[in-house]
């Protein structure tokens, strides 16, 4: 037990050193600052890191789940923790919206972090900031970049399944639609390519891409762009019957490791989702895909920068919003 605690201390110490060494020249983004809780909750970084690490040791899939949870929060009406809210009599929230139902994971990790924080610094840290930090830790523990996370977000008091259904990008919609959804949040074309690289970890359920394998766009045939050996492998994992819809397939060949193999798979016509493979087939995005394929450090640096931008979308600060006592319900 002592050795485990020492390991956690080492991880946290390394994280803090990296945060200082990689911190950008500016110290504040809007009303957010990475030092926001230094006085009010100095154990914050350690509590988040140790909880994510414990969850990661039990299930490496949790890293991709936490990253996706953060993205699905921010891309729907901004980063205000709405994705964490349970449905109520008066509100149908985002957890059971079509893109999230039976697929979003990691809520218990955020709840555990919140419970620990309420013991050491009650009523201080927002659930939105917890989720933002947890996503960074998940990426870092999977071998990805570490970045200083600007903090100081407040939690929203409502959620909308309608917003989630309309605003979350679908793996089968045209790239133009996806780009429009990103730019409507103040993000750019580059962020589409960079943040899609988060698919370097994790899995997807077969129903999200099965039409590529057997009846692509109503043709009765597979997607002609798919590598033939990759197609055969996927058809074995996802047979053409409804019972296979929830089977899992890896998003790239190194599912537990955050790296640039995702982009190499696109170049080799082995992207799992239509929305992923589309990035190499469009002149606006193909050059970035090729750059990240040959330069992993460029991808890491750009991914960190895009995650900071994502975390600044539609935030509530100051007197707006609240600090929830429990992440699944408003105060």
The catalytic site residues sit at 72
CA-CA distance, 158 to 316, in Å (whole number)? 12
Q: What is the DSSP letter of 272?
A: S
Q: Are 308 and 70 in contact (CB under 8 A)?
A: no
Question: Is the alpha carbon torsion for 55, 61, 62, 67 positive or negative?
Answer: positive
Angle at CA 289, nearest 5°, toward 215 and 210? Answer: 15
Q: Using CA atoms, how far apart are residues 215 and 218, in angstroms rounded to an integer?
A: 5
What one-character-per-residue DSSP string does 187-218 give? --HHHHHHHHGGGGSSEEEGGGTTHHHH-GGG
Distance CA 327, CA 84 (A): 6
């Amino acid at each position: 037990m002592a050795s485990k605690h020492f390991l956690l201390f080492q991880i946290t110490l390394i994280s803090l050193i990296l945060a200082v060494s990689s911190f950008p020249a500016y110290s504040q983004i809007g009303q957010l600052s990475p030092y926001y809780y230094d006085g009010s909750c100095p154990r914050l970084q350690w509590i988040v890191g140790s909880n994510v690490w414990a969850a990661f040791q039990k299930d490496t899939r949790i890293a991709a789940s936490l990253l996706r949870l953060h993205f699905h929060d921010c891309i729907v009406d901004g980063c205000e923790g709405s994705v964490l809210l349970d449905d109520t009599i008066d509100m149908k929230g985002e957890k059971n919206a079509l893109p999230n139902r039976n697929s979003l994971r990691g809520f218990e990790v955020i709840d555990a972090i919140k419970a620990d924080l309420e013991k050491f610094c009650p009523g201080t840290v927002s659930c939105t900031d917890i989720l933002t930090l947890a996503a960074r830790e998940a990426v870092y523990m999977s071998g990805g970049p570490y970045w200083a996370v600007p903090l100081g977000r407040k939690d929203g008091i409502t959620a909308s399944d309608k917003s989630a259904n309309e605003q979350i990008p679908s793996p089968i919609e045209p790239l133009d639609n996806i780009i429009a959804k990103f730019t409507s949040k103040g993000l750019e074309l580059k962020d589409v390519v960079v943040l899609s690289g988060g698919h370097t970890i994790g899995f997807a359920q077969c129903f999200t891409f099965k039409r590529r394998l057997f009846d692509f766009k109503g043709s009765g045939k597979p997607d002609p762009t798919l590598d033939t050996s990759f197609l055969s492998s996927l058809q074995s994992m996802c047979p053409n019957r409804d019972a296979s819809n929830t089977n899992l397939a890896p998003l790239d060949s190194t599912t537990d490791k955050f790296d640039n193999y995702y982009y190499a798979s696109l170049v080799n016509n082995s992207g799992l989702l239509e929305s992923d493979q589309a990035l190499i087939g469009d002149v606006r995005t193909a050059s970035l895909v090729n750059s990240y394929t040959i330069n992993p450090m460029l991808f890491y640096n750009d991914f960190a920068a895009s995650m900071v931008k994502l975390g600044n979308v539609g935030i509530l600060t100051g007197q707006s919003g609240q600090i929830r006592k429990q992440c699944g319900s408003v105060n």
